[in-house]
Amino acid sequence: MEVALRILIVGAGPTGLTAGVELARRNIHAEVIDRRDEASPFSRAVGILPRSLKTLEASGVTPKLLKQGQKFRMARFYRGDRLLLSLPLTVRQPLHGYDFILGLAQDRTEAALRDAFVGFGGAVSYGTELMALRQERDGVIAETSEGKELAFDYVIGADGVRSKAREELGIAFDGIDLPETWSIADVDAEDWPNANAFTVCQLPGGEVAVVAPLDVNRYRVISNTEYALAALPLPMNVTHVRREGQFKISVRQVSQYSKDRVFLAGDAAHCHSPVGGRGMNLGIADAADLAARFAEGAIGGYSAARHAGGARVIAQSEQARKVLTSANPIARGLVLLGLRLASVVPPMQRAMSHQVLYGE
């Protein structure tokens, strides 16, 4: 039996689309709006973790992702251009049914989610911006850029770090902005030796360069310097640069994920560094949890549960970022020692693999 709720989802990124899909497959049909004129052709997040793949199985999205993405079961750590450790991402008992990270450009992940949403009867209204929210006793009034006032039972704000939904709720986005400039490059490259591995290069002075596979001969290079490709110490035969860009990192989290009938999810509720590749996956987890709660009539527990989960991910991401980017000789020496131990102590290697694949 269809649940007669009117739900508005603000934002058609991975979080908003996951919410739409997970609600729709439970016969709760939401409307999705996005202020962009069309789906973004750009890729931000690139790694899909086992938990997310398991979450998206029921909607039929996971098989589509698996057909397109690059599976990597290896992480390689370098000091400059010197290999320190090849870490197989193998565990004795894979959680969620997967023992790899799936590399895939975010725009293609969004396309698979959007296709599933449309398949369930949904539609995304691009070029429609949320202008204001007004909460009433038995619903929420959303004012859009088209000059309409629309009534909903609930609203899900999945509209990113500059969330209008969050602003309308008056919820602070507390945290810090990191001073350094980071950069990315999405490139096509031939004969990259780590085509099926996640590559991390520690550089002098606390700088790092990271390479993640996105597709056959396509890679994302990330660095905490202004020019990611220039920072990469390993030779890469780049045949085409699809996109280069610079960005700043904020580490923030709201104190509450909901207020009355409006809920926040994904980057509207939290943001952190890309170290660990947890950002998009955390948003998918938010959305799936909230959709299940709507179906079960347990939405009251959403804020506490997801705030705790987000806090854990932020803490782990920050710890990893500080370790990888430390310029302190002692800290760098401890990293080197830890990697060397992991290379010869199987239980330690398995523990590291488990954390990379399944750590929240």
Looking at residue 1, its pLDDT comes to 43
Residues 62 and 200 in one domain: no
pLDDT in tens, 102-113: 989 888 999 999
The helix/strand/coil state of 108 is helix
Tell me the β-bridge partners of 143.
Answer: 132, 149
Looking at residue 42, its pLDDT comes to 66
Tell me the β-bridge partners of 176.
Answer: 251
Residues 183 and 37 in one domain: no
Residues 186 and 332 in one domain: yes
Place of tokens 């959709």: 291
Give the other-Cβ count within 10 Å of 95's Cβ. Answer: 13
Lowest-confidence range among 160-164, 253-257, 262-266, 345-349? 345-349
Cα–Cα–Cα angle for 321, 327, 330, nearest 5°? 100
Residue 277 or residue 79, greater confidence: 79
Tell me the β-bridge partners of 355.
Answer: none
Looking at residue 160, its pLDDT comes to 94
Looking at residue 346, its pLDDT comes to 80
- The DSSP code for 204 is G
Tell me the β-bridge partners of 188.
Answer: 218, 240
> Is there a domain that residue 2 lies in?
no
Cα–Cα–Cα angle for 91, 59, 359, nearest 5°? 30
Residues 56 and 112 in one domain: yes
- Please give the Cα distance from 255 to 269 (Å, whole number): 9
Residues 307 and 339 in one domain: no
CATH at 299: 3.50.50.60
Contact indicator for 46, 106 with CB cutoff of 8 Å = yes
- Please give the Cα distance from 183 to 221 (Å, whole number): 8
Residue 208: pLDDT above 70? yes
Residues 198 and 121 in one domain: no
- Please give the Cα distance from 265 to 305 (Å, whole number): 12
Residues 118 and 54 in one domain: yes
> Is there a domain that residue 1 lies in?
no
- pLDDT, the chain, mean: 91
Residues 256 and 268 in one domain: yes
Residue 46: pLDDT above 50? yes
What is the count of structural domains for the chain? Answer: 2
- Please give the Cα distance from 213 to 220 (Å, whole number): 6
> Which amino acid type is present at position 54?
K
Contact indicator for 268, 160 with CB cutoff of 8 Å = yes
> Is there a domain that residue 90 lies in?
yes
Residue 305 or residue 344, greater confidence: 305
* Domain of residue 296, residue span: 7-69+104-176+251-321
Residues 15 and 31 in one domain: yes
Token pair for residue 2? 């269809």
Residues 125 and 218 in one domain: no
Torsion of CA 71, 77, 82, 83, to 10 degrees: -60
Contact indicator for 279, 271 with CB cutoff of 8 Å = yes
Strands (E), 197-353: 197-202, 208-215, 218-223, 237-247, 250-254, 258-259, 262-264, 270-271
Segment of 82-86, 136-140, 336-340 carrying the highest mean pLDDT: 136-140
The pLDDT > 90 percentage for the chain reads 68
> Is there a domain that residue 172 lies in?
yes
Residues 126 and 268 in one domain: yes
pLDDT in tens, 235-263: 999 999 999 999 999 999 999 999 999 99
> Is there a domain that residue 50 lies in?
yes
- The DSSP code for 37 is S
> Is there a domain that residue 262 lies in?
yes
Banded model confidence at residue 7, pLDDT cuts 50, 70, 90 = very high
> Is there a domain that residue 225 lies in?
yes
Residue length of the chain: 360
Looking at residue 358, its pLDDT comes to 78
CATH at 351: 3.30.9.30
Contact indicator for 194, 211 with CB cutoff of 8 Å = yes
> Is there a domain that residue 130 lies in?
yes
Lowest-confidence range among 5-9, 83-87, 261-265, 303-307? 83-87
> Which amino acid type is present at position 62?
T
Residue 2 or residue 35, greater confidence: 35
Token pair for residue 59? 């909607």
- Please give the Cα distance from 101 to 91 (Å, whole number): 13
Residues 191 and 283 in one domain: no
